Structure formats: structure tokens, C-alpha cells
Amino acid sequence: MKNSKILISMDIEGVAGVWRPEQTQAGQGEYERARRWMTEEANAAIRGAFKGGAREVLVNDSHGHFGNLLADEIDPRAELIQGKPRTLGMMAGVDQKGVAGVLMVGWHARAKTRGVLAHTSNSFAFARVWLGGQELGEVGLYAALAGELGVPVLLASGCDVMADEAQVLLPGLPCAVVKWSDGARSGRSLSPQAARALIEEGCREAVHRRLHGHEAPLLQLPAPISLRVQCQTPALADVFALWPHVLREDGDTVELSCASVQDAVRSLNALGAMSSVLR
């Protein structure tokens, strides 16, 4: 296959051993250990991608402030994308020339599910999100963004609830399940070492298949597309309705029409930024 560049998008809630919100929040004691586990899962995915035949690997730091991965501990063969704001958010880099596919590592299920630390994009601001009438979490939102650019998701790793969600959206998608949810903050997990081995092998196989002509599923939504958001509080809907293009549906739900999935994701991220006035 001519294109041999792979994008790895790294989140933290789906990393093995991560169960509690404080493990995901900078400044909390447990965060430093969790970000190291996140970095090592990124390295496992990098090793797998290169073993599968990738010529270049980009790693997108996709959690919170987008500055979690320990740069001096990342496999030096890869390039690291960090910092915000950025136009494509969790999928920054997908628009580069030659990207053959995306590996979603450490991802989680959508809001209002029993997945480990489940939420959608911004847990303070958004209760539920729909694109084109379909409720989506981060896996769906960003798979659709990549799909709009013709780039498939090759693998997703995280909890079992996330994997089930991803399989519905992208039938046949390989998933590396590293933990199993008994609830939003409880369950059982592989050890970090076992999780890294599973991720490395899964990424190796997924990239090898893609680079040897295997067709991977694309999530493509027809444009124009409606973005509908149920806010966590009516006060947030008050803030979002200040944007002239936003229509207020009821006390806590707003909607706007977007020309593309990329515009919808950018709009959602802009709403998330607007929510900071109420924090």
C-alpha cells in the first residue's frame, strides 16, 4: 500500500489500571502514575505499528489539556502531537498526507453508559451528543471525522463497553479489551504489562492487514449534518445559546446545523471551550 503513515490517538480513561477520575486529572497524586501507564501503552502501539509495516508514526495526545504523554519516554521513532486548541482535536494529524489508518488507544465509552469513566468530549458540559440524529461518543465522533477524510480506524483499545460501542459503529473493528466494567468506576483489568502486550500485537496485526490491502470499515455520515447536544445544566444551554447559530430546543438541549463532520466536531469543541465561563 502506498500510504504507510499511522496515526495513534491516545486517551487515558481506557488505559489498563485507570478507574478513578483523579487518575485522569493533572495535579492529582495518582495522575502521574496513570500518565506513565498511558505513555507505555502509546509505546506499545508504536512498536506494533512499526512491526506491522508502518514507515512513519504520529502520536496524538488526546486527553484533557493534550499534554499528558511523557515526551522524553516516547519511542523516538514516533512524532508527538501535543497542546491545544487545535482544529481536529483528538484526530489531529489525520489530515496529513499518507495516513493509512488510525489506532485509538486508551479510549472509553460514551456518556450515560456503564463504561469505565464514560463521558463524551467534555464531562462538565455535555450529557449526550448526537450527529445526524445518531447518538455518538468520542469513538463515533472521531471515527466519523476520520471517515470523512477517507481514513479508517484500524483498532480501538479500552474497556469492554467501549469495544461493544465501537463494534456497532464499525462492524468487524479489532478491539483490544484491557479491562471489563462492573460500573463507571469499578471492574477488573489486565496488568499494565499484559495490556501493553495485547495492544502491541493487536496494532501490529491491524496495521499489517491494512498495509497489505485489507479494507477497513469507514464511518461516513452524509452532509450537511445536525449537531444536537444535551447539556449537563440549563445554565450551560444559556451560555451556548449566546452563539447566534445555536438553536435552543428546550431547557438543556441545543442544536446547530453543520456543513460537515469536521465542522460539527469543531463546533462541539468550541461549545466545550465556552463552558469554561461557568466552571
CATH number of domain containing 49 = 3.40.50.10780
| DSSP assignment string, 172-226 | T--EEEEEEEEETTEEEE--HHHHHHHHHHHHHHHHHHHHTTPPPP----PSSEE
User: What's the domain count of the chain?
Assistant: 2
Do residue 258 and residue 143 come from a single domain?
no
Do residue 179 and residue 260 come from a single domain?
no
Do residue 200 and residue 246 come from a single domain?
no
**How confident is residue 63, by pLDDT bands cut at 50, 70 and 90?**
very high
Do residue 158 and residue 270 come from a single domain?
no
φ, ψ for residue 51, nearest 5 deg: -65, -30
Do residue 194 and residue 257 come from a single domain?
no
Do residue 148 and residue 255 come from a single domain?
no
pLDDT tens readout for residues 192-228: 999 999 999 999 999 999 999 998 989 999 989 999 9
Do residue 159 and residue 273 come from a single domain?
no
Last residue of a domain, one of 211, 237, 259: 211
| 129 falls within a domain | no
Last residue of a domain, one of 183, 211, 239: 211
| 153 falls within a domain | yes
pLDDT tens readout for residues 162-202: 999 999 999 999 999 999 999 999 999 999 999 999 999 99
> Residue-wise over 220-236: b if at least 16 C-beta within 10 A, else e?
ebeeebebbbbbbeeeb
pLDDT tens readout for residues 105-153: 999 999 999 999 999 999 999 999 999 999 999 999 999 999 999 999 9
Query: Residue 230 sits in which domain range?
Result: 225-278
Last residue of a domain, one of 155, 176, 211: 211
Do residue 207 and residue 230 come from a single domain?
no
Do residue 189 and residue 231 come from a single domain?
no
| 32 falls within a domain | yes
| Residue 214 is a catalytic residue | no
Cβ neighbors of 241 (< 8 A, separation 6 or more) are 248, 254
Q: What is the pLDDT of residue 190?
A: 98
Q: Label residue 97 exposed, middle or buried (CB < 10 Å: 0-12, 13-18, 19+).
A: exposed
Q: Which candidate in 119, 208, 212, 214 is catalytic?
A: 119
Q: Is the pLDDT of residue 1 over 80?
A: no
| 247 falls within a domain | yes
| 128 falls within a domain | no
Do residue 12 and residue 84 come from a single domain?
yes
| 59 falls within a domain | yes
Q: Is the pLDDT of residue 57 over 80?
A: yes
| 258 falls within a domain | yes
Determine what percent of the chain is predicted with pLDDT higher than 90: 97
Do residue 157 and residue 24 come from a single domain?
yes
**How confident is residue 13, by pLDDT bands cut at 50, 70 and 90?**
very high
Do residue 167 and residue 236 come from a single domain?
no
If we measure between CA atoms, which residue out of 179, 152, 181, 155 comes closest to residue 166?
Answer: 155
| DSSP assignment string, 93-145 | TTTSTTEEEEEEEEE-PPTTSSSTT---S-TTTEEEEEETTEE--HHHHHHHH
| 23 falls within a domain | yes
